C-alpha cells in the first residue's frame, strides 16, 4: 500500500479544541475531555490543529497507520458525543442468598455482606464520574466514555463469584444498560 494518508476531523461549533504535543483536549462549558495519544500515534502518524479541524498525516503509510487513524477518529467522536450528552451506565444489584448493602464513600463504592462475607469489598470510582445509588440500581454518568465504562467494570468485577457454581450463586452486581443499549 505505502502511500501518503491525510485525514481531517472537523470539530463542531461550541467545542473548544486544544492540541499540546500528543495530548488532545476538547472543552465545552465547564467540562473538559482529555486524551493522550502518545501510544496510538507512534512514530509515523502526526497530528496538528488548523482552526477547528484536526489533521492526521502519515507518510508512506501502510494499513497499520490507517487503522490507527481510524481508531483515533472513533475516540474523538466519543469525546465530542460525551460533551453533548453524558454516557450513562446502569447496574443492577442482585442477591439471592444474602442481602447486599451498597454505599458510596468518597471515591469508592463499598459493598457489604456479599455472599455473607464480613469484610468490605471496594470498587474504585474514576475521576469525572458521578455515581448515584437508588435501592438496587446503580447509575453511572460521565462525559468520558472510558471512565464511565471502567467504573462500571470495576463495580461488576468486585462482585465476581469465584470457585462456586454460577447456576446456584447468582449474587452480584451486573451491568444492565450501556449508554442507551440494554443488555
Confidence of residue 123 (pLDDT cuts 50, 70, 90): very high
pLDDT higher than threshold 90 for residue 103: yes
pTM recorded for the entire structure: 0.86
Question: What integer is the mean pLDDT of 47-75?
Answer: 88
Question: What integer is the mean pLDDT of 65-77?
Answer: 89
The per-residue pLDDT for range 150-167, each reduced to its tens digit, is 999 999 999 988 888 878
User: Residue 40 has what pLDDT?
Assistant: 66
The per-residue pLDDT for range 11-49, each reduced to its tens digit, is 998 899 988 888 899 999 888 898 888 776 767 788 888
Are residues 82 and 144 in contact, defined by beta-carbon separation less than 8 angstroms? yes
pLDDT higher than threshold 90 for residue 145: yes
User: Residue 27 has what pLDDT?
Assistant: 92
Question: Which domains are present in the chain?
Answer: 3-84 (3.90.930.12), 87-182 (3.90.930.12)
Print the SS3 string covering the chain: CCEEEEEEEECCCCCEEEEECCEEEEEECCEEEEEECHHHHCCCEEEEEECCEEEEEEEEECHHHHHHHHHHHHHHHHHHHHHHCCEEEEEEEECCCCCCEEEEECCEEEEECHHHCCCCEEEECCCCCEEEEECCEEEEEECCHHHHHHHHHHHHHHCCCCCCCCCCCCCEEEEEEECCEEC
User: Residue 91 has what pLDDT?
Assistant: 95
Amino acid at each position: 500500500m505505502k502511500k501518503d494518508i491525510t485525514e481531517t476531523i472537523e470539530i463542531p461549533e461550541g467545542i473548544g479544541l486544544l492540541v499540546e504535543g500528543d495530548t488532545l483536549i476538547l472543552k465545552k462549558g465547564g467540562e473538559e475531555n482529555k486524551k493522550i495519544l502518545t501510544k496510538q500515534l507512534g512514530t509515523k502518524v502526526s497530528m496538528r490543529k488548523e482552526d477547528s479541524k484536526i489533521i492526521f498525516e502519515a507518510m508512506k503509510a501502510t494499513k497499520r497507520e490507517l487503522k490507527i487513524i481510524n481508531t483515533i477518529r472513533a475516540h474523538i467522536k466519543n469525546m465530542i458525543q460525551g460533551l453533548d450528552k453524558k454516557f450513562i451506565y446502569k447496574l443492577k444489584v442482585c442477591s439471592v442468598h444474602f442481602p447486599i448493602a451498597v454505599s458510596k464513600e468518597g471515591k469508592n463504592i463499598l459493598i457489604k455482606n456479599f455472599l455473607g462475607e464480613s469484610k468490605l469489598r471496594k470498587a474504585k470510582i474514576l475521576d469525572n464520574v458521578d455515581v448515584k445509588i437508588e435501592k438496587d440500581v446503580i447509575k453511572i454518568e460521565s462525559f468520558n466514555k472510558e471512565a464511565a465504562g471502567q467504573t462500571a467494570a470495576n463495580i461488576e468485577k468486585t462482585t465476581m463469584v469465584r470457585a462456586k457454581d454460577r447456576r446456584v450463586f447468582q449474587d452480584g452486581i451486573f451491568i444492565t444498560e450501556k449508554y442507551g443499549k440494554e443488555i
